[in-house]
Amino acid sequence: MKPNRWDVCVILLVILCAVLFLVGAKQTAEARHVIVSCRSEVVFCLPLDKDGRFPVEDKLTVVIENGEVYVEEAVCPDHLCEKHAPIRQAGRSIVCLPSQIVVSLEGTGQVDAIVQ
């Protein structure tokens, strides 16, 4: 069975969409700040270039190192947040559900609005 003109068009369209998706996925925003919140309240906001270990309410330790962020020494029962790979791109986050703590990376450190 020989492919007709429409088969070739559909295959080329799928390949074009895949290439465009991969190019768009590579263009991620550069992270500049680490925002840590507990129970929907911001605990601290730090620049990503400030290396160090930062305890969060005696529940876990956020580590900033070489432009990456990860969690150590969590007191939660499953320790999934500790097993999460280090994050380095804006929009990524590490969540500890038992402790209700979210560690996220933002492209800018300025808050537009706070809604309560």
Q: What is the CATH number of the domain that holds 79?
A: 2.60.320.10
Per residue in 27-43, pLDDT (tens digit) is 556 778 999 999 989 99
Q: How many residues does the chain have?
A: 116
In a domain, 61, yes or no: yes
Per the listing, tokens 């590579």 go with 26
SS3 call for 92: coil
Kindly give, in sequence order, each residue whose CB lies less than 8 Å from that of residue 82, ignoring residues fewer than 6 positions away: 60, 70, 71, 72, 73, 74
Number of domains observed in the structure of the chain: 1
In a domain, 2, yes or no: no
In a domain, 112, yes or no: no
What local confidence, expressed as pLDDT, does residue 45 receive?
92
pTM of this structure:
0.67
In a domain, 18, yes or no: no
Domain extent, residue 80, equals 33-106
In a domain, 16, yes or no: no
In a domain, 44, yes or no: yes
In a domain, 23, yes or no: no
Per residue in 54-77, pLDDT (tens digit) is 999 889 999 999 989 999 989 989
CA distances for 86 relative to 36, 63, 64, angstroms: 15, 9, 9
Region 87-96: mean pLDDT is: 91
